Structure 1
Amino acid sequence: MIKIQSDYQKRPIRFLQLWENGGWSLKVYGISYSSEYPSNKLMDKAKELARDILPFPAVTKNRYGLGFIGVHEGSGANFIFIDWWSNENELNHHVYVESHGDPGMFKYVTPKGLIACCWDLKVLSYERDCWVESVLNNSTGSPDIDLYLNMHLNEDV
């Protein structure tokens, strides 16, 4: 039998801003176990990590300069995930974790196989649906980038 250490508690997932940097347009989401929004320090770290991992140029034949960042202030650790769309329907996903026992030290954990926690998965699922609706299967017959960038998740999950 699986032993659960704590009861599930809903957390706020909030769209925080559209961050534009070096040709990239990224939706930024915040998730926090203890407040409405993650700390500004954590937000700044997410942008620093994004600048380091995002490929440049942002827009190429197979890359659109579009994606999202998740900043999750968790109870046992902090998580940052940086995602962008490429090759029409593929999501590039990169995860960093900061243990509360080792503040300031974010480790790149993507090669270890970690994808996301149950709250982060809500953001990934929502963004997948936005991409399909606004880009891949837009009712106008052509991608609508503005529609994609204006679709935001704000929900307690």
Structure 2
Amino acid sequence: MKKLEQSYKQRPIRFIEILNHYDWKLKVYGISYENELPNPDLINDAKSVTLSKLPAISDTVYGVGYIGIHDGRDSNFVFLDWWQDENELHHHVFISPKDNPSALVEMTHTGISACVWDLKLICFERQAWLDSVLNNPKGLPDLDSYLKSYLNGDF
């Protein structure tokens, strides 16, 4: 087994904004290897690329989700996740070279999913969905509550 190149080190995960796109509302998060927030060009490119993947809103597509923008050590990693069919998370992954954020290419088909920092965010969003939607005592999705719940910290 190959020796680790680098031991685990916390990275900032920061809520950036709620992005409104037509009837969609997406939480936007930044994760960075060496800065407080990802490169601004990467943030803009990530929003442009991911928005083109959103399906039409319907009775089973709620129009809410999140974008994770990870300015990593060796490359940029972006993921778009949205909630559908009550309890399903749809996950799309994009990667670009560190020095060329606009070259984001969809890599979902390769099976790559998430690193340990991305998983922290995905786990948080799972719990927010459970609390606001699936465990809502009224039996109706509380999408406003879901959108008001976001993660900020070093993990």
Deviation at 1:47, TM superposition (A): 1.0
1:93-108 alignment to 2 at 5 Å? 93-100=91-98, 104-108=102-106
Deviations 1:13-64 (A, max 9, x none): 0111000001100000000011111121111111111221111x3x202100
What is the distance in 2 between the residues matched to 1:75 and 1:25? 29
Note if contact 2:15-2:152 (Cα within 8 Å) is conserved in structure 1.
Answer: yes
2:9 aligned partner, one-letter code: Q
TM-score (norm 2): 0.94
More displaced stretch, 70-79 vs 98-107? 98-107
What is the distance in 2 between the residues matched to 1:47 and 1:102? 15
1:65 aligned partner, one-letter code: G
The reply to whether residue 148 of structure 1 matches residue 146 of structure 2 is yes
Note if contact 2:71-2:98 (Cα within 8 Å) is conserved in structure 1.
Answer: no
The reply to whether residue 120 of structure 1 matches residue 93 of structure 2 is no
User: What is the number of equivalent residue pairs in this alignment?
Assistant: 155
- Identify the match of residue 82 of structure 1 among 56, 67, 80: 80
Which residue of 1 is the match for residue 23 of structure 2?
A: 23
CA 1:65 to 1:103, structure 2 compared with 1: closer, same or farther past 3 Å? closer
What is the distance in 2 between the residues matched to 1:75 and 1:18? 26
What is the percentage of aligned positions where both structures have the same residue? 45
What is the distance in 1 between the residues matched to 2:150 and 2:27? 8
What is the distance in 2 between the residues matched to 1:35 and 1:44? 17
Q: Secondary structure of 2:50's partner?
A: helix
What is the distance in 2 between the residues matched to 1:52 and 1:118? 26
Deviations 1:78-103 (A, max 9, x none): 01100100001000000000123655
1:42 aligned partner, one-letter code: L
TM-score (norm 1): 0.93
Q: Name structure 2 gaps, 5 residues minimum.
A: none
Note if contact 2:72-2:98 (Cα within 8 Å) is conserved in structure 1.
Answer: no
Deviation at 1:143, TM superposition (A): 2.1
2:33 aligned partner, one-letter code: Y
